[in-house]
Amino acid sequence: KEAKKQHDIEFHVKTDKADLNGMINRYLKQENFNGEVYLNKDVELYGTVDVFSEKMHYKMTFTPKALKNGDLLLKQKSVTLGKIHLPVSYILRFIDTTQHLPDWVIIKPSDKLLYIQLQKMKLDSDAKVEVNQFDLAHNNILFTLYFPNK
């Protein structure tokens, strides 16, 4: 795993959907992201986008998967944009170009997924984070936080 270096200090964190949900939305607000995340059976993303000077609401639902490198993959499950029925890849491309996303969140419209590069997320004290388990059905979410030893 990329985050761990020889002299890093490790903290293993077990959390639940409610606490992680609060932390995610706090972080998104700090990043000036126009939307909110809700962790239910899946990852749900709600927000609005401007289309021809009208605000349109969208909802995207993703199935999460923790990757061996500590990053998180969100596979598109469903999407709605107002009452318009458009291909998922089109809506993802549209959101990618109209929303302010951190550079460590990569939208891959043709693959219908979001790739969350937790290794590149900027945290205080130069900490790094890896997801170890992301099991929403059983409310079992495990992370490892790495802090430099210097």
**pLDDT per residue as tens digits for the range 14-40:** 999 999 999 889 888 887 777 899 999
* 96 residue type, one letter: D
Residue range 44-51: average pLDDT? 83
CA–CA separation, 120 vs 103, rounded Å? Answer: 8
CA distance 71 to 8: 18
Highest mean pLDDT among 23-27, 87-91, 142-146: 142-146
Task: Decide if pLDDT at 93 tops 70.
Answer: yes
pLDDT greater at residue 43 or residue 52: 43
The answer to whether 129 and 142 have CB atoms below 8 angstroms apart is no
Which pLDDT belongs to residue 64?
A: 96
Range 99-103 average pLDDT: 77
φ/ψ of 132, rounded to 5, equals -100, -35
Nearest to 17 by CA among 132, 134, 139: 139
pTM of the predicted protein model? 0.82
Tell me the C-alpha distance between 18 and 108, whole Å: 27
State the Cα–Cα distance between residues 126 and 49, nearest whole angstrom. Answer: 33
